[in-house]
């Protein structure tokens, strides 16, 4: 059991995903395993944390330490794990509903906190597990859901702008149909010291079949990561939501706790002595 795994297959479990044939998440799972193999990380030293939703089923399909938590809470679980066990490589993964709606507050504060971990959002602009409702990234006029027959009527959430303004130090976007790019970004995100946000456009072929056409829309125009927030913001103003590549990287030191292991527990009571 000492040998370091080196093949993507070694990072997969024997479980068969619950996803629909053609789901973009298969490629993301493959990209995660490929990235871990490329980096030569031992499974036992990597943890993958998720919330609830189609893509959040991902940890069980890996041979890593996984945590399939409750809806929206992947980031705090992952943050607690990383802060308590800084030597581990910690990944968090999930969907747009999990990360931007119910977990939206944690997303903002995880960007601010800049804990050294990598967050992969598989965005398909729909709640798949509950069978096709509008998510925060759904277009305002999408009428495909019985819950919002006239469309959600809200302006779509803009994840990259949000991440940038909240303080994420690594921001990128990829298309699941380009698994090599997803792999490259995951490798770069893991290597980055700080909170890495990877926005993956991952089509839902069941409730948003039109997303099969995303291949035609994506364009790899985030060519060189900005290190200046102002430039990154300006670039995002021209983003059509389909620009891929690494947008932004900064060298802000990651948040970490600084324990000072100096005293035995027995001395703590002294402060109460009369």
DSSP secondary-structure letter at 157? P
**Span of 84-92, 153-161, 177-185, 200-208 interacting with another protein by CB under 8 A:** 84-92
DSSP secondary-structure letter at 62? B
Query: Does 47 participate in binding another protein (rule CB under 8 A)?
Result: yes
Partners of 172 in the β-ladder: 198, 246
CA 35, CA 95: separation in Å to the nearest integer?
20
Of 218, 220, 200, 51, which is closest to residue 125 (Cα–Cα)? 200
Query: Does 84 participate in binding another protein (rule CB under 8 A)?
Result: yes
**Span of 56-64, 153-161, 207-215, 222-230 interacting with another protein by CB under 8 A:** 56-64
**Span of 59-67, 118-126, 136-144, 186-194 interacting with another protein by CB under 8 A:** 59-67
In the complex, least distance from residue 91 CB atom to another protein, rounded to whole angstroms: 12
CA 137, CA 254: separation in Å to the nearest integer?
28
Among 21, 40, 149, 264, binds another protein (CB under 8 A): 264
Nearer to another protein, 21 or 269 (CB): 269
Nearer to another protein, 237 or 273 (CB): 273
Task: Please report, for residues 120, 158, 222, 237, the alpha-carbon distance to residue 240 in angstroms, rounded to integers and kept in the order given.
Answer: 20, 10, 12, 8
DSSP secondary-structure letter at 5? P
Residues whose CB is less than 8 angstroms from the CB of residue 259 and which lie 6 or more positions away in sequence, other chains included: none
Q: Could you list the residues that contact another protein (CB under 8 A)?
A: 1-2, 15, 43-45, 47, 49, 57, 59-60, 62-70, 72-73, 75-85, 87-88, 105-106, 108-109, 257-269, 272-274
């Amino acid at each position: 059991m000492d040998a370091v795994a080196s093949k993507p297959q070694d990072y997969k479990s024997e479980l068969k995903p619950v996803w629909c044939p053609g789901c973009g998440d298969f490629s993301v799972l493959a990209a995660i395993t490929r990235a871990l193999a490329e980096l030569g990380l031992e499974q036992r030293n990597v943890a993958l944390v998720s919330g609830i939703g189609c893509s959040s089923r991902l940890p069980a399909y890996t041979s890593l330490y996984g945590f399939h938590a409750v809806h929206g809470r992947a980031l705090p679980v992952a943050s607690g794990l990383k802060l308590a066990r800084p030597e581990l490589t910690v990944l968090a993964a999930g969907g747009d509903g999990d990360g931007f709606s119910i977990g939206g507050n944690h997303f903002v504060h995880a960007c601010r906190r800049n804990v050294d971990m990598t967050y992969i959002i598989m965005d398909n602009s729909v709640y798949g597990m509950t069978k096709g409702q509008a998510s925060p990234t759904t277009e305002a006029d999408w009428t495909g859901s019985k819950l919002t027959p006239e469309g959600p009527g809200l302006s779509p959430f803009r994840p990259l702008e949000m991440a940038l303004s909240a303080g994420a130090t690594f921001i990128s976007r990829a298309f699941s149909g380009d698994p090599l790019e997803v792999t490259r970004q995951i490798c770069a995100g893991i290597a980055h010291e700080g909170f890495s946000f990877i926005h993956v456009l991952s089509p839902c072929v069941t409730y948003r079949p039109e997303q099969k056409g995303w291949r035609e829309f994506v364009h790899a125009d985030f060519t060189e990561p900005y290190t200046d927030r102002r430039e990154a913001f300006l670039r995002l103003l021209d983003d059509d939501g389909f620009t891929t590549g690494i947008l932004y990287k900064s060298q802000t030191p990651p948040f970490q706790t600084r324990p000072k292991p100096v005293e035995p527990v027995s001395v703590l009571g002294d402060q109460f002595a009369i």
